[in-house]
Structure 1
Amino acid sequence: GKQGRFRENLLGKRGDYSARSVIVVGPRLRLHQCGLPKKIALELYQPFIIRRLKDLGHADTIKSAKKMLERKDAEVWDILEEVIHNHPVLLNRAPTLHRMGIQAFEPVLVEGNAIKLHPLVCKGFNADFDGDQMAVHLPLSIEAQVEAHTLMLATNNIFSPSNGAPIISPSQDVVMGCYYLTMSMAGRRGEGMVFRSFAEVEMAHSLGKVDTHAIIKVKLSEGRCEIDEKGAVGEPGAITETTAGRVLFNSILPESMLFYNLPMRSSELAKVISDCYQLLGRRQTIDLLDNMNRVGFSWSTNSGLSFATDDLITPENKPEILNKADKEVSKIRKLYSRGVITDGERYNQVLDTWTHVREQITKEMMDDLKQDTGSSNRYAGYVNPIYLMAHSGARGGVEQIRQLAGMRGLMAKPSGKIIETPIKANFREGLTVLEYFSSTHGARKGLADTALKTADSGYLTRKLADVAQNVVVTMHDCGTTQGIEKTVIYRGEKVEVNLADSIRGRVSRTNITNPITDEVVVEEDQLITPKLAREIEALGLEKIQVRSPLTCEAPLGVCRLCYGMDLSTGSMVEEGMAVGIIGAQSIGEPGTQLTMRTFHIGGVGQRDIEENEYKSKHVGTAKFTRLRTVKNEEGEQVVLARNGEIAILNEKGREIDKFDIPAGAILKVAENDKVKQGTVLVQWDPHSIPILSEVAGKVRYEDVVDGETLRVEKDPSGHIRRMIMEHKGVYHPQVVLEDESGKILDFYYLPEKAYIEVSPGESVKAGHILAKTPREASKTQDITGGLPRVTEIFEARKPKDPAIMAEIDGKVEVSGEKRRGKRTIIVRNETGVEREHLITHGKHMRVHAGDIVRAGEALVDGPLVPHDILRISGEEEVQRYLVREIQNVYRSQRVEIDDKHIEIIVSQMLRKVKIDTVGDTKLLPGSMMDKHEFRQANEQIAECLRITDKGDSEFEVGTIVPKDVLAQNNESIEALGGTPAKGTKPKPATASTQLLGITKASVQSTSFISAASFQETTKVLTEAALAGRVDNLVGLKENVILGHLIPAGTGFNTFQTSEVRVRPEALEALRIDREDLLARDFPLLEAAEQTEEELAAGAEGLTSSGSTSIGSLPESPNSPGEGL
């Protein structure tokens, strides 16, 4: 375990020269600095100080120097200042979930015992100042210092590698200050004044002639354009209507940036940072961040915002809304007691009512808060601080304000079921004892979850890191011709991920052309930048083929083109980057975030309002596929099959939208109708799934046996309800429809928990509801469903109660006979091939006799089994399924992760193949091996021939001989007048791809050292010893265990073998041109000027890692020569 030899001593070692202390905020630090207590610095830099004391002649021996240190003599402090100059330290906050958990800073000496941390880097460390501690480490060797400086300095970690969003971005006070500064208010002092320049505005503002929020006009400097809230860009140098505060805010931005004429919320600030980076590069961005930080804090202070009970406004009509809801609920209860609806339906409708009420109160509350400004009954210039904090994104959100000022809403029981009686009060009004009691469930569940899930999530991260640890970018181009398809992703009605976001940072697999003009927008193998992605989206293309780690054919790791952009720099990924580990961190880190999410909202039932209709999002024509309908008593068209689709086509007949239609839905449009945007296409009852008659006939029950399969319930009102109960396999309850003569016209299986709505002997028309199955009574969705689901997918486990999938395309037949208590669905295709599918009883069938199904389509309800998808639909489909399912879990929690990280893990899960037939290779049938090894084995024999006629050669018949050897041999035989040998093409081996869970994939890793350090150590080592396996040390873990440099990053082979020399004349030219930049980028060269030998030592230090230090500074296209 954790204490064992591998994990305790080989993978984790203790480091000397480290310290730990509590952190406090250091708002006056620059971004790359941290405050280091003098006591810590004295201890950490001890050997450097001692050496300096000896060099300067203050001490003769090491012992006397140590004495001086203990006495803390005056000289010591001067030398300490000198020694820490340009010698960065590493700060680390546990738990280190991703690479931003360790960053380098330039130390600044501070009094006291606490480490000072820049407020903007907190997000990366996930740190706050409520008593967190951090550890300090000191890089000793010159190589370590260069790496810390050029790769790990906080200023190099501006963007998150998991999704490319700025991770150093203002939060809390800074956002509040910037938002307050850029708000506008009518009727303030100085409104309507016109100014010639920013300087004039600043002057008038500082003299008190114009208020911060006053609406004024100002002329922009030449070449500067404004951008407004809608994102429209104005003319350069125009006179624009803005506020004094916005002028002050924009004056901290570099001249060449736009004039942002809008209130700065946290999302806008993040956009400003990204814009600055893309336009002007990293250096300017860092200055901007520091300035933003300064302005935000000072305006937070000036605003004098506070948080008072009176600022929490409860809507005046709240009692009215609640009364209406109470009446509604009692109406639902009456319906239930009269037996019109089932208990499940009653429960769901009650929850729906309260969910709607909560939404309504929240909406009114937010409107009231928004309108609560100076013009109301408060003092002049008042703006509701609570609305300001939430709206700006500084702190809190609608969820939290709702609980303080609206209504707390529905709560969940420990089981996850929602309690029907909501908490009508909010925290401002105070809870009654009963309400307080029902809140305690949720609160306690939140705390328990947090404790349990953190461990689970940590374990998931460890498994992911282990399976992907040897995925490193090893080459530029693997030369594959394959790729995957990227499309827009919808969730119900809304676009969840637009095309631009799903293709940016990828490399295009084909030429992407403008469909109208046929001009090439992106060439094959070209990186799609965010700008190009937006252009492609504007062309209206639906699907784009891109390169992906899933289809990469690099023998080790992945190639640059298949991976695409390194999201943390915005440029093409470098060779040697450990993308596997980064992927594992990107997926694992939010896992812990997700686990902690329940804690903050305090177990409030989160229920989405159920969807019950589809509306068209576009103008077009409705086209039906596989929709079988029947008219019901009201004359409406009701959909029968569950796999029908409605597509919307545009004028050219291209499909622009598609909806899967549930059974029992009522069609609101006819085929080929023209639909507008917002036209309702279908509606359905979200709480129950109906079973409808397709023909008219007389009802007879089959296998509906009281007490065995049927439970008769009496409602409180005395109504009798018939429900199919869970039963053993002999019975298959069904409703049979017969004609007068007793001939069977049709039969319908009744799943468990179905309520029968017809009586025996009753005559029904087509489209009549025979039975209803309630949809699952809704449970709260929180990541409790999420994290285990992620683990389940990555472990490729069989879900419980899985769906059965059609093995081939064809037409469905349902056979009446039962075997071993199971029903049979037969799928027969055109050529007459048929496959039988055994269905356990009690399952709800998704298909009816006569339906056309595709291979891989679910025949009954339930989750799909990834192994089945792989077997039936192939590798591509299972890859798509796994990536989609994982993303669904994270997106439902609003966590953004780039697909490529998940694709790397999925490609590792599909890395092994199982040999089916061996052909003429030397492989063993049934053995598992790496895909690439398998491909190599086949490629090897493709270059050979199998001898069929030996002629006068020495080859035996049936041996495999390389073509060139045979040709040479035959030449010499022919020269002597003999008969040459003849051969045929050898048979290649065949294999099927295997899907392994991440744990299994790690244990079956090609490196036994890495597998042994993961799990089942003894087993792995004994098996490796018996097989006499050899470890080639290609991954990261095996090298760490043996104490080698890891073959990634600066340790990557190319960098280790190439040489870097300093060219004196180039250095001289640089010195003259860009002295200031040199000092900032290569402080070591500055220091090295003192002596020639030190310059040599410095050059040596640069040799080992100089290539990376120069190569990895992000080159931005618009700033020539940035980062040398």
Structure 2
Amino acid sequence: VCTAFNADFDGDQMAVHVPLSREAVVEAQRLMLSTNNMLAPSSGFPIVSPTLDMVLGMYYLTGIDSEQLTPVEKDEDGNPKYKMFANFDDVQLAYDTERIKLREMIKVRDEAGEWIDTTVGRIIFNRTLPEEMGFRNHLFTRSEIEALVGESVNDLGNEITAVMLDKLKDVGFKYATQSGTTIAMKDIVVPPQKQSLLSAADTKISRLDEQYLEGLITESERYKAAIAIWTDVSDKMTKAVEDNLPSYGGIFAMADSGAKGNIAQIKQMAGMRGLMSDPKGRIIEMPIRSSFAEGLSVLEYFISTHGARKGLADTALRTADSGYLTRRLADVAQDVIITTEDDPGAQGILITDEGQSGIQAPLVDRIVTRYLSEPIVHPETGEVIADRDELITRELAKEIAEAKVKQAWVFSPLSSTTQRGISQKCYGASLATGSPALLGEAVGIIAAQSIGEPGTQLTMRTFHTGGVAGKDITSGLPRVVELFEARQPKGMAVLSEIGGKVELAQLPEGRVVRVISSEEFSEEMDIPATHRQMVKTGDWVDAGEPVLSIKKTAKAAAVKAGTYDELQDEITATVAGTVQVTKTAVRITWNEIDEREYVIPAASEILVADGDTVEPGHALTDGPKNPQDILRIEGQAAVQRYLVDEVQAVYRSQGVQLHDKHIEVIVRQMMRKVRVDNPGDSDLLPGELVDRHDYEYTNNNMLAEGGEPATASPVLLGVTRASLNTQSFLAAASFQETARVLTEAAVNGSVDRLNGLKENVIIGRLIPARLDLSEEGRKRLGIKEGDRKAGLLTGFTKAPATFEEALAAIGGTELIGVGAEVGPGRGSDTVAAAASAAKLSSGDDDGLRAAVSALSDAASSRESSAGSGEDDAARAAEALRASTSTAEENPEPAPQFVDEGAGENGSPESSGDSKNGESENTGE
């Protein structure tokens, strides 16, 4: 569980929480226990898995001795000759009596009676696995072990996996010890190609310097080329080190098994340290040629200290920055809770195999745990693999991958149209369980945590490659923050606002890219029998110029018939253009040309060539795109896709697994608002930011009343602005700028509907995220259907009635917890209601009598006159307070749990449901 708690053994402390109420105990047992949380909610991959020494032990156990890889003895057919055994038990006996070695290849009959080539180690390893998993006859590295644990969780469940993991741990430690793995200087082999690689690079660098001195290249071009040369040498050196590592050595075993370290670190030990950056982040041109095995010169040592200090400073800063990002994400998404099962208005989004960023997850990993919005059809056979509204499980995802499907339409948090929270259909399944997300699950908080938690693993670096004209490439955590805050990125790309042909030009003000869009339109005029054309094909006509004139014969006939007034002597062109004449018509075609000119900054590299055709939103220069530009030019779907792909690119480049749906939840919250362009007949203001649902509601009302609806454009807000623009002023005030938020709320007379988590925590209510809202949730919590009483917590613990509820009974409004509809002429019910309330809040008989008499007076006076309600209310409240104080003086034992509707001493428990403003009487 160390991974999940991020715990290490350097003096870490942990809080101990004691759950008190019965609900809390059940929740801790069924939902929070580590055994029930084998999969990471961020990716759906196992979070409990052997690491470090355990991996090394299993790698040693399932490996083969190096001298065994080239066996000496062969049989007549040329196959290697191994010792043969009848079954696994014989092998174990032979090993125990030291007749064969642990990693020696042998031939043995397996459980099914088939001959297999394996080792003693693999047989011992397989004995720790459940029978259902079969015999695994291969070398196990860390990734293989993780896949094994994932398979076990999905196929066999948590309990069996927990037992298996415990056995794997023991085996791993035992054989790691037995392997006697050590590291010695002789394990670090300096590759023989090293010198030739370095001298080849030196030759290239001296050629570069000559070109620079001759004035053929600029300083920044020389610098960039030098960096490229050394980067290439570094990559080749890594390959050389890898090829020359002795496969029996401890260093190789640790890196190859995935227990610790990687080839890049071994390259620094055996090959060369490579390029370092200075304190500003600019890469130092002079690489460190020595490796740690050979030892560094004084100058090289000082160059390398730059990187070391930067690394430590980064780690300290990163922790704080990552924590702050998590807080902002949690704040923007805290009210995203699964509120409904279906969402009839939802439209799917298209997920394709090729993303915008180079490092892209395969299609199946991005669609698993989602519902399909369109069926998936096999590309070759045409059969339906999965239908609309079907949940894509891991098994189904494998089928889709085997069919080589290239795209899928799925429901996503981005497509949800629910006003509050999100629908189960759009969210899909919970990654932690693989089953559909339950009603009341706080998926917003899960998303914020999943994105924020690996933030500390992301790098903080901004690379500067070049002098004055160099660009900064923002990567790692700052890039993620930049995307979620929807900021204008540094050195951003110039985007084409229209589609068309590209023309490059060099003007005095700099390089210019022109995009010319030319669209052809045409208009056709029929030639009547009475007219003839005055123009021929290829002629140019202006608007108003005559195109057709009346024939003399037709004119004479019309004069004779007296219809001449109805005919036009000449029919003119309504538009200017080129003429095309056919037998029956004259067509005028014209082109509408739209031209945009972009001045390109000196430092930018142009990505288009003369004569290229571009689409709207196409990048004309290199650099990151500005999300606001994408929204303006290409629209909402394009900017949502861009943000998801770009955030994923950063996480994947650091090897962090994260499902797209978490990022989509946050992006959805960033696009909640629209900006009013034209208010129409509504009471909205131009330029006002309004919630998308409020805007649609206002417009529907306008249309119903026959008024002119408002128009608005979508807005992309950064997470900080989106948190402060939330509908709950309590949540916004608890986030940042408290005084400003509260004064604005007071001035506007804002109402907080208490829909999110934070606002309820602030005022001490139960949060709306609770799993007892659906049948599946109650099953997981172990609540029997009869146990759950509406209005009570979850059916275990009795909810006390409040003074306000008793007063509500006198006031004539409904009483939560009692189904009696109280009003004029229902005096006895009022008394019953108050009696029940008092009984719940105290259990003291004298106090109860006082409350009942006060309330019966109130009821009778209410029937006779409606005037003295307030005094009666005060008396009732006084009586109730007295009853509670008496109860405090004579404390009773703690209330017992309610069982199937029976109260204490078997008296019926009154409880009603106050949902939707109706109440039903479940008491007697």
TM norm structure 1: 0.59
Cα offset, 1:424, TM superposition:
1.6
**Aligned counterpart, 2:909:** none
- SS of the aligned residue for 2:65 comes to coil
> Where in structure 1 are there 5+ consecutive unaligned residues?
1-120, 223-236, 372-382, 608-686, 688-724, 727-752, 754-775, 945-959, 961-984, 1065-1092, 1104-1124
Cα offset, 1:591, TM superposition:
1.1
Structure with higher strand content: 1
**Aligned counterpart, 1:533:** 397
- SS of the aligned residue for 1:463 comes to helix
Moved more, 318-327 or 923-932: 318-327
Q: 1:822 to 1:193 in 2, by over 3 A?
A: closer
**Aligned counterpart, 1:829:** 518
**Aligned counterpart, 1:990:** 711
Cα offset, 1:866, TM superposition:
1.4
C-alpha separation in 2, matches of 1:455 and 1:127 = 18
Select which of 1034, 1052, 1057 maps to 2:755: 1034
* Native 8 Å contact 2:439 2:771 kept in 1: no
AA in 2 matched with 1:839: V
C-alpha separation in 1, matches of 2:782 and 2:257 = 51
1:791 and 2:791 aligned: no
AA in 1 matched with 2:712: A
* Native 8 Å contact 2:281 2:464 kept in 1: no
Select which of 20, 30, 38 maps to 1:140: 20
Q: 1:1049 to 1:593 in 2, by over 3 A?
A: farther
AA in 2 matched with 1:412: S
* Native 8 Å contact 2:778 2:784 kept in 1: no
Moved more, 565-574 or 171-180: 565-574
Q: 1:491 to 1:295 in 2, by over 3 A?
A: farther
C-alpha separation in 1, matches of 2:66 and 2:273 = 34
1:244 and 2:124 aligned: no
**Aligned counterpart, 1:904:** 665
C-alpha separation in 1, matches of 2:356 and 2:417 = 33
1:552 and 2:416 aligned: yes
**Aligned counterpart, 2:439:** 575
1:562 and 2:426 aligned: yes
1:1022 and 2:712 aligned: no
Question: Equivalent residues in 2 for 1:763-782 (5 A)?
Answer: 776=470
* Native 8 Å contact 1:1062 1:1099 kept in 2: no
1:279 and 2:139 aligned: no
1:589 and 2:453 aligned: yes
- SS of the aligned residue for 1:155 comes to helix
Cα offset, 1:922, TM superposition:
4.4
* Native 8 Å contact 2:355 2:645 kept in 1: no
* Native 8 Å contact 2:346 2:417 kept in 1: no
Q: RMSD between aligned alpha carbons?
A: 3.4
AA in 2 matched with 1:895: V
Q: 1:903 to 1:431 in 2, by over 3 A?
A: same
C-alpha separation in 1, matches of 2:368 and 2:334 = 25
1:197 and 2:87 aligned: yes
Select which of 569, 587, 599 maps to 1:839: 599
C-alpha separation in 2, matches of 1:848 and 1:125 = 53
Q: 1:1053 to 1:926 in 2, by over 3 A?
A: farther
* Native 8 Å contact 1:506 1:563 kept in 2: yes
Select which of 353, 367, 378 maps to 1:514: 378
C-alpha separation in 2, matches of 1:569 and 1:273 = 14
TM norm structure 2: 0.72
Q: 1:824 to 1:129 in 2, by over 3 A?
A: closer
- SS of the aligned residue for 2:519 comes to coil
Q: 1:473 to 1:434 in 2, by over 3 A?
A: same
C-alpha separation in 2, matches of 1:355 and 1:826 = 37
* Native 8 Å contact 1:807 1:835 kept in 2: no
**Aligned counterpart, 1:306:** 182
Cα offset, 1:837, TM superposition:
4.5
Q: 1:606 to 1:293 in 2, by over 3 A?
A: farther
Provide Cα deviations, 1:934-965, integer angstroms capped at 9, x if missing partner: 223334455x3xxxxxxxxxxxxxxx3xxxxx
C-alpha separation in 1, matches of 2:688 and 2:464 = 48
Structure with higher helix content: 2
Question: Equivalent residues in 2 for 1:739-758 (5 A)?
Answer: none
* Native 8 Å contact 1:918 1:990 kept in 2: yes
Select which of 286, 300, 307 maps to 1:435: 300
Cα offset, 1:814, TM superposition:
7.3
Question: Equivalent residues in 2 for 1:1042-1057 (5 A)?
Answer: 1042-1050=763-771
Moved more, 417-426 or 432-441: 417-426
- SS of the aligned residue for 1:221 comes to coil
- SS of the aligned residue for 2:145 comes to helix
Select which of 882, 885, 895 maps to 2:643: 882
- SS of the aligned residue for 1:168 comes to coil
Q: 1:277 to 1:430 in 2, by over 3 A?
A: same
C-alpha separation in 1, matches of 2:345 and 2:149 = 36
Q: Percent identity?
A: 47
> Where in structure 2 are there 5+ consecutive unaligned residues?
74-80, 521-591, 788-892, 904-924
1:445 and 2:288 aligned: no
C-alpha separation in 2, matches of 1:1043 and 1:1025 = 21
**Aligned counterpart, 1:404:** 269
C-alpha separation in 2, matches of 1:824 and 1:397 = 45
- SS of the aligned residue for 1:1005 comes to coil
* Native 8 Å contact 2:496 2:515 kept in 1: no
1:211 and 2:87 aligned: no
**Aligned counterpart, 1:127:** 7
C-alpha separation in 2, matches of 1:1018 and 1:1024 = 10
Provide Cα deviations, 1:575-605, integer angstroms capped at 9, x if missing partner: 2111111111111111112148x8xxxx9x9
Select which of 618, 622, 632 maps to 1:857: 618
C-alpha separation in 2, matches of 1:828 and 1:244 = 72
Q: 1:1100 to 1:827 in 2, by over 3 A?
A: farther
AA in 2 matched with 1:938: N
C-alpha separation in 2, matches of 1:351 and 1:287 = 52
**Aligned counterpart, 1:316:** 192
1:893 and 2:684 aligned: no
AA in 1 matched with 2:379: P
**Aligned counterpart, 2:560:** none
**Aligned counterpart, 2:563:** none
- SS of the aligned residue for 2:160 comes to helix
* Native 8 Å contact 1:806 1:827 kept in 2: no
Moved more, 392-401 or 140-149: 140-149
Question: Equivalent residues in 2 for 1:353-372 (5 A)?
Answer: 353-371=229-247
**Aligned counterpart, 1:158:** 38
* Native 8 Å contact 1:805 1:857 kept in 2: yes
Q: 1:132 to 1:1099 in 2, by over 3 A?
A: farther
Cα offset, 1:345, TM superposition:
3.4
Select which of 261, 270, 290 maps to 2:166: 290
C-alpha separation in 1, matches of 2:171 and 2:457 = 30
Cα offset, 1:840, TM superposition:
6.3
**Aligned counterpart, 2:344:** 479
**Aligned counterpart, 1:721:** none
**Aligned counterpart, 1:1008:** 729
AA in 1 matched with 2:326: T
Cα offset, 1:174, TM superposition:
0.5
AA in 1 matched with 2:236: Q
Q: 1:193 to 1:495 in 2, by over 3 A?
A: farther
AA in 1 matched with 2:178: N
Provide Cα deviations, 1:464-487, integer angstroms capped at 9, x if missing partner: 110011011111111234111111
Cα offset, 1:365, TM superposition:
2.2
Q: 1:822 to 1:138 in 2, by over 3 A?
A: same
* Native 8 Å contact 1:1046 1:1052 kept in 2: no
Provide Cα deviations, 1:820-871, integer angstroms capped at 9, x if missing partner: x997846443151635445366466555675533222234554322112112
Q: 1:822 to 1:501 in 2, by over 3 A?
A: closer
The alignment covers a number of residue pairs equal to: 713
* Native 8 Å contact 1:818 1:824 kept in 2: no
C-alpha separation in 2, matches of 1:262 and 1:470 = 48
Provide Cα deviations, 1:153-179, integer angstroms capped at 9, x if missing partner: 111221111111111111001001111
C-alpha separation in 2, matches of 1:437 and 1:516 = 62
Q: 1:915 to 1:338 in 2, by over 3 A?
A: closer
